[in-house]
A and B are shown apart, each in its own frame.
Chain A
Amino acid sequence: MITLPHIYIVGGLFFAALAILSALDQANARRLRNAAFWGLLALSFLLGDRIGDFGNGLLALGLVVLAAFGLGIGKPKTTTPEERRASAERRGNLLFLPALIIPAAALIGTLAAKETEWGAALIQPTQATLISLALGVLIAVAVVMLWLRPPLLAPLQEGRRLMDSVGWAAILPQMLASLGAVFLAAGVGEQVGTIFSQYVPGLETSRTIAVIAYCVGMALFTIIMGNAFAAFPVMTAAVGLPFVVVALGGDPARVCAIGMLAGFCGTLMTPMAANFNVVPANLLELPDRKAALNGVIRAQIPTAIPLLIANIILMRFLAFP
């Protein structure tokens, strides 16, 4: 049976390859820093379960230090824009198919592991989606390699090209998840929950009020934190789980799924979400790009607020089966 640790080995080998190829890339002035960064991440995937909690903490600290000094961008050999245009015209819409293998595999694998015996024997049912996704990637890469016959190292080099453009931001979601866990252990959610229950009347008795408090809280907290990922663990521990789910009977999966999207409404309204709201204003050379409410954010607010209301209504009617 394929389990999550097998997939971690695949991930670890992928990041290890990025580290080696980065180290060999003479075109990247910071190639050793890049190599160290991806190497540490590879170490985390391959040996994370053996180096202990403090070892993992030091590893995370090392990633932060390397990111703070700044990573470079490697220049792996790839095709020219002209070659790509020619290939796009020659291959037509068939090019979309291998890309569709990945989500299709994730979906089919998940359903098979849940619903069929052979699926459950092949894929660990509790982690079916991630395992199927990784298998889908391996299948898609194999298909493209057989179809287009690129150089053998192409998937790793092209993966490195994209990973370097993502840079340290690649581990931000994982870091925010870890921060959420530290917040949780320190009782930040409970403190925020206490504040909410002190100032929001009817939180424990009214489904409507609890849903509004959770969704608006998610949006506001996301505006402050600049990221729904950071707001989610705190607000869900403070209001979502204790009130909407436990006290009032909401379905946790539905409450959390819609709650996260209420947070995304906050992301649309804040300059703290720099890569979505400030970077494009710079790229498009808007005259008010340095303003707190630049043109992009002002264009988004009239969609974000009605959508937040829509999320409140959806959660109120869908989350209590």
Chain B
Amino acid sequence: MLVLLGIGVVVLGFALRANPLVVVMAAALTTGLAAAWTPDADLQMMYDAALATIAAFGKAFNDSRYVSIVWVVLAAIGLLERAGLQERARIAIANVKAATTGRLLWLYFVIRQAAAALGLTSLGGHAQMVRPLVAPMAEGAAESKYGALPDRERYLIRAHAASADNIALFFGEDIFIAIASILLIKGFLEQNGIIVEPLQLSIWAIPTAIAALLIHSLRLWLLDRRLKRVLEAKPAQSEVAP
């Protein structure tokens, strides 16, 4: 049971908001020491166990290098960004005149999920797309329909803009064969003597991606209905006039 202490270190580390890399290393050392600990262990034995844990971690780190090879992609993506790839994506989205908050977020969701499925995970993101573009556009869509927004609804729309980005990313990216999570699964199975190819894994991410699209489409439709119900309670002056 003592080996479960490593999990406690992870929980504690994240609760204290320590640097995650430090937390991971501390959890690995704790686990290695806990596994070696016996009532009559002395300092020398624990020292040896610490060295053995560092070596075990190093071996796994070296065997897992392929997880980090995907970063070379950034050389190509950065080059395209330099030529205006993000701006082109913004133009492509802005040209679609969606009438409602829900439909606009839905459109972003679909584009984000499709792009992530093609491996273009850096085509969105909270800092690059949601704050400067998606959230203001979603708020603007509601404002043009219902006038000035109460704070409650404004924050609700913003939260939905952020969540659309997350959900579309999570349940799109695993369709792409070279994403870190697919490689992690591949590596894990390999350590257990099961050889699979990334493509065999990514295919089975498709049903969940469709389920996520269906469920979140319903959520965004409900968001539109809710905004309509709450905000139409105070009818716009222009519509009351004959």
Q: Which residues of A contact B (CB under 8 A)?
A: 4, 7-8, 10-11, 14, 41, 44-45, 48-49, 52-61, 63-64, 67-68, 78-79, 81, 83-89, 91-93, 95-96, 98-100, 102-103, 106-107, 110-111, 114, 126-130, 133-134, 137, 140-141, 144-145, 148, 150, 154-163, 166, 168-188, 191-192, 224-226, 228-230, 232-234, 236-237, 241, 252-254, 256-258, 260-261, 264, 267-268, 272, 274, 276-277, 279-281, 283-284, 286-288, 294-296, 298-300, 302-303, 306-307, 310-311, 314, 318
Q: List 28 A-B contacts (CB under 8 A).
A: A14-B72, A44-B65, A57-B53, A63-B21, A64-B21, A67-B21, A84-B81, A93-B92, A106-B178, A107-B199, A114-B197, A129-B177, A130-B66, A130-B198, A141-B76, A157-B78, A162-B74, A181-B63, A182-B31, A191-B1, A252-B189, A260-B174, A272-B14, A279-B126, A294-B159, A299-B162, A300-B163, A307-B215
In the complex, B45 has a CB within 8 A of chain A? no
User: Would B215 and A306 count as touching, CB distance under 8 A?
Assistant: yes
Identify the closest chain A residue to B83 (Cβ).
Answer: A87
Smallest CB separation, A228 vs chain B (Å): 7
Besides the known contacts A180-B60, A284-B131, 11 further A-B residue pairs in the complex with CB atoms under 8 A apart: A14-B72, A44-B62, A54-B55, A84-B87, A141-B79, A160-B78, A173-B68, A182-B28, A272-B14, A283-B131, A294-B159
User: Would A11 and B72 count as touching, CB distance under 8 A?
Assistant: yes
User: Would A92 and B24 count as touching, CB distance under 8 A?
Assistant: no
Within 8 A of A (CB), among B71-92: 71-88, 91-92
CA distance A241 to B225 in the complex (A): 44
A182 contact set on B, CB distance < 8 A: 6, 28, 31-32, 53, 56-57, 60
User: Would B85 and A95 count as touching, CB distance under 8 A?
Assistant: yes
Q: Given A55-B58, A57-B54, A144-B80, A99–B120 Cβ distance below 8 Å? A: yes
User: Would A174 and B65 count as touching, CB distance under 8 A?
Assistant: yes
Q: Which residues of B contact A (CB under 8 A)?
A: 1, 3-4, 6-7, 10-11, 14, 17, 19-22, 24-25, 27-28, 31-32, 34-35, 51, 53-88, 91-92, 118-120, 122, 126-127, 130-131, 135, 151, 155-156, 158-163, 165-167, 170-171, 174, 176-178, 180-185, 187-189, 191-192, 194-205, 207-208, 211-212, 215-216, 219
